[in-house]
Amino acid sequence: MKGVLVFVAMLTLLAGCDDRALLPYAREMGETALMRTVGLDAGEGGVVFTAATGSRAGGQEALVLSASGTSIPTAALAVQSLGDSYVYYGHADQLLVGEEQAARGLAELLDYLAREPQLSLGAQMWVVFGGSAAQAIETAGERGVAQRLDQLNTDGELGAANIGRSAAQLMTVLARQGSTYLPALDLQPAREGDGGQGSKQTLLPGGYAIVRRGRLVCRTDTEVSRGIELMEGENAGSVVDLSLEDGTRVSLVQDAARTVCRPVFQGDELTGLDVTCDLTVRVAQTGRRLKPKELEWLRQRLEQMQGERIVRAIELGQYWDADFLDLERRTQMARPAWKRHIQKQWDEVFRALSLRVEVRGRVERSYGMMDGAE
């Protein structure tokens, strides 16, 4: 037993205690406001830092605190002094950035996230368009916006909303390829049936924000957004509506997409990209039984449409000289032996690379009430 006491006494030396704090500081959870969502906007001469709890048990309203400062830590400290509880960011897993702040740059924010022990780099990030991040946080009112963002994130994983990006992913990708995309949110006036439940504004998925060298450069439209999702192979569940020649509307649900990007060389010179996308869809809705010829027509139409989307997504990257689809690494993976050639030439030739996109669609048989009907 004496040995145990000596052993414990020796182990306490590992506690990292110094002359300022012998013991770690304990906080009671009952006196803590657990922030779920953090928003960052550009302010006059600095930033506006907003933090919100999720919906709280016992019918309590979500707590939203906002303060401005010349830097992010200053604003965050100002938020700490507000409210009646200790503001704790250990559970902040949602990070909204206003459009203007994103255009100013995300480097400072990422640096702050990496250095602040409470904030996690695992937080999911969105760029807010049509309003500020603070407004987006306040859209849900007393219910808090956290649940809505949680759902958007889950939908994204299921292919029903934008592809999610965490701060850690953003940091990694920016360090590797200099450009990437972040899911965008649209702050729009609320309307009946959008789930806003009385709020004046509502948050909707709104494509992607393209970030180049840490700054927002543009926002994608719907076609480019679908192209990005096809390239990433994370479009399961998205729907394509097509009309047959006789006006019959057919809805196709995409089950899987796998895109491979190969480099095209002329001699040692990288001249183009050969993109092949294998796409599997199934018929989700149709008014009658489809004939084989019609299925073939649908397949061809689908291939054409999705091919154009992919081309538009890649061309957007070429326009901004932003390889946000990570094409360089993809081509290197497809041709490992040519890795150094690609690496050496990529920055120079990326914008001028010719594209050959091939989509190989497959419409899987599906059965419905109309099957067997004459």
Partner 1 sequence: MRVGVFETKGPVDGPHPRKEPRLTQPLTVEGISDVFRDCVDFKKRELCVGDDPARRLTLCYLEGVVRNERVSDYILRPIAQNGELARVGEEKMFALMRDGALYNLTATERTTTDQAATDLIAGFCLIFFPGRREVLSFFVGTEEKRSVGQPENEPSVKGARDSFVETVRTNTAMVRRRLRAPELRIAEHVVGRQTLTPVDVLWLEGIADPVVVERVQERIAKMDIDGIQTTGNLEEYIIDRLDTPFPLVASTQRPDWFCGGLLEGRVGVLCEGQPMGWLLPGTFGQFFQTNQDKTSNWMLATAVRALRWVCMFITLLLPALYVAVVTFQPEVIPVKLAMSIAAAKREVPFSTVFEVLIMLVSFEVLQEAGLRLPGPIGQTVSILGGLVVGSAAVEARIVSPAVLITVAMAGIAGYTMPNQDFDGALRLWRFGLTILASIWGLFGLVLGGAALIYHLAGLESFGQPYLSGGDRVARGPLPLEKWRERVRLPLNRRNQR
Contacts with partner 1 by CB under 8 A lie at 1-4, 7-8, 11-12, 14-15, 23-24, 26-32, 34, 36, 53-54, 56-58, 60, 88, 90-91, 93, 118, 120
Residue with tokens 């401005």: 68
Name the residue among 258, 254, 225 with its Cα closest to residue 241. 254
* Phi, psi dihedrals of residue 319, rounded to the nearest 5°: -60, -45
Measured from the CB atom, is 122 or 237 closer to partner 1?
A: 122
Smallest separation, CB 80 to partner 1 (Å)? 16
Give 278's strand partners. Answer: 258, 360
Measured from the CB atom, is 57 or 373 closer to partner 1?
A: 57
Smallest separation, CB 48 to partner 1 (Å)? 24
The tokens for 309 are 């989307």
Smallest separation, CB 188 to partner 1 (Å)? 27
- In this structure, how many other beta carbons lie within 10 angstroms of the beta carbon of residue 374? 3
The tokens for 359 are 């989509």
Smallest separation, CB 15 to partner 1 (Å)? 6
Give 159's strand partners. Answer: none
Smallest separation, CB 111 to partner 1 (Å)? 20
Measured from the CB atom, is 30 or 267 closer to partner 1?
A: 30
Determine if residue 177 is left, alpha or beta; phi over 0 gives left, psi from -120 to 50 gives alpha, anything else beta: alpha
**E strand or H helix at 222:** helix 222-232
Residue with tokens 């707590």: 63
Smallest separation, CB 161 to partner 1 (Å)? 19
Residue with tokens 């609320």: 190
Name the residue among 331, 164, 302 with its Cα closest to residue 234. 164
- How far apart, in whole angstroms, are the C-alpha atoms of residue 180 and residue 102? 13
Measured from the CB atom, is 62 or 230 closer to partner 1?
A: 62
Smallest separation, CB 115 to partner 1 (Å)? 16
Measured from the CB atom, is 34 or 279 closer to partner 1?
A: 34
Measured from the CB atom, is 65 or 240 closer to partner 1?
A: 65
CB 55 within 8 A of CB 66: no
Measured from the CB atom, is 60 or 304 closer to partner 1?
A: 60
